Amino acid sequence: MIFEDLKLEDPILKAIDKQGYTNPTPIQEQAIPILLNGHDLLGVAQTGTGKTAAFGIPILNHLLKENNTSGKRKIKALVVTPTRELAIQIAESFRAYGQFTNLRNTVIFGGVKQSKQVASLQQGVDILVATPGRLLDLMNQGYISFSNLKYVVLDEADQMLDMGFIHDVKKIIAKLPPKRQSLFFSATMPKSIVDLSQKMLGDFKRVTIKPQQATAEKVEQGVYFVSKNNKPKLLIHLLEGRSSDSVLVFSRTKHGANKIVKVLDKANIKSAAIHGNKSQLQRQKALGAFKDGSLKVLIATDIAARGIDVDDLALVINYDLPNVSETYVHRIGRTGRASASGIALSFCMGDERPYLKDIENLIKQQVPRMGEHPFMEGADVVEGSLSKKPQARNKNRNKSNNTRNKNRNWR
């Protein structure tokens, strides 16, 4: 299938073509026809599958066909998403896909003064992208009306619950007009998410993109066994061999992310961290530099990384393995986006071995072992072609030659 088969309006097709897209991703191919036909949708898919376009393109197409922009613009479409970065990214996507239309969108989020956001709303917008807290705040102040609302998207629903937005989201849903098209997206579907979706959706269709289909098959993966003390040395070693590539490094904690930046700074590798303790200005500045290529290494925590969408992101490094296996799939989905391929490398120390096992059970494949590296001392290696015992390591050295050669290519 190609996008022209979806019978979209010409200005939308022109914008898609300008973005260089020809074939829809699986979720786009399944979801767009459902949404063009006016059905509610429950989408189970993580970031990186192309779901922003899956809901953005049909909404723009509907609004363009209605072409009701006489007088002051009223909010006709609402997208609610958990983080500032993701909200900004979604708004940018709406602008890209709607660039040949006269439709207007704006984005609102907390952490900054509301005056500019209020001014934008008062000028009139067709599409509003918002984080829950700021949206509810401006609703309560009377700056936002849903009287003309026709399309609603709740994106990354599981992340919203993880971040404690459940009560805000329920309050927002309660204020929505009953006659609307509703779209609900979540990477996982625990009971709490199922219950929330039932409150929002009417007679809906369901589209599921499994994690291993979405990312694990397209992303070349590898794991290094390394001690905690040698993680910084291995990271520097890998980054020095890829100085021209954009690399996203994941830390499990905010403090850990800051420590990585300091370590890299001492090695004369420029990097920046984004996490919840950074100001909005700091986060936007770092993310902007990473997107335009002036900053090659970005350190992120999982929540802050939602919404990072960088063209040609060459490599993701899991400095710390996540303790929730689904998070691994989210992380490696930062590379290998849409039809592209990518590389994801993970560091695993002894007490992270159970996390690795859970990840492999989820993706139903073993993450390839990268073999020996210059910082093996203290590594808890007990499986595969390597062993703690020197004689065993010598015995298997020939077996790991191919792996080491592949490793050199990745550095």
3 state DSSP class of 170: helix
Over the stretch 223-239, which tens digit does the pLDDT of each residue have?
999 999 999 999 999 99
Q: Tell me: pLDDT of 382 over 60.
A: no
- The whole-number pLDDT of residue 381 equals 58
Residue 93: CB atoms within 10 A of its CB come to 21
Query: What is the domain partition of the chain in residue ranges?
Result: 3-209, 213-410
Q: How much is the pLDDT for 389?
A: 34
Interval 279-304: pLDDT, tens: 777 888 888 898 888 999 999 987 76
Share of the chain above pLDDT 70, in %: 84
For the chain, give the mean pLDDT. Answer: 84
pLDDT (0 to 100) of residue 380: 65
Supply the pLDDT for residue 410: 46
**409 has a pLDDT exceeding 80:** no
Q: How confident is the model at residue 311 (pLDDT cuts 50, 70, 90)?
A: low
pLDDT of 144 higher than 70: yes
Predicted pLDDT of residue 217: 59
Residue-wise pLDDT for 157-215, tens only, equals 888 887 788 889 999 999 999 999 999 998 878 788 888 888 899 889 999 887 554 45
Q: What percent of the chain has pLDDT over 90?
A: 50
pLDDT of residue 398: 40
Structure tokens, 142: 């009377």
Q: Mean pLDDT, to the nearest integer, of 323-343?
A: 74
pLDDT of 231: 95
Here the tokens at position 261 are 């930046």
| Between residues 16 and 190, the one the model is more confident about | 16
Q: Give the pLDDT confidence score for residue 335 in this predicted structure.
A: 76
Q: What is the pLDDT of residues 89-122, one digit of tens each?
A: 899 999 999 999 999 999 999 888 999 999 999 9
Q: Is CATH 3.40.1450.10 correct for 3-209?
A: no
Of 300, 314, 293, give the one whose Cα is nearest residue 247.
314
CA-nearest of 221, 227, 220, 219 to 348 is: 227
Cβ(126)–Cβ(103) under 8 Å? Answer: yes
- Answer yes or no: same fold for 3-209 and 213-410: yes
Is residue 386 scored above 90 in pLDDT? no
Which residues make Cβ contacts (< 8 Å) with residue 245, sequence separation at least 6? 296, 314, 315
Architecture of the structural domain at 213-410:
3-Layer(aba) Sandwich (3.40)
Which residues are bridge partners to 40 per DSSP? 204
DSSP state of 312: T
Average pLDDT over residues 332-348: 76
Q: Is the pLDDT of residue 375 over 60?
A: yes
Q: What is the pLDDT of residue 377?
A: 75
Residue from 329, 324, 269 nearest 295 by CA: 269
Report, as an integer, the average pLDDT of 294-317.
79
In the sheet where 40-44 sits, what is the strand order?
105-108, 127-130, 77-80, 151-154, 181-186, 40-44, 204-208
| Mean pLDDT calculated for residue range 10-39 | 92
Non-local (6+) Cβ contacts of 293 within 8 A are: 246
Q: What is the pLDDT of residue 116?
A: 94
Query: What is the pLDDT confidence band of residue 306, given thresholds at 50, 70 and 90?
Result: low
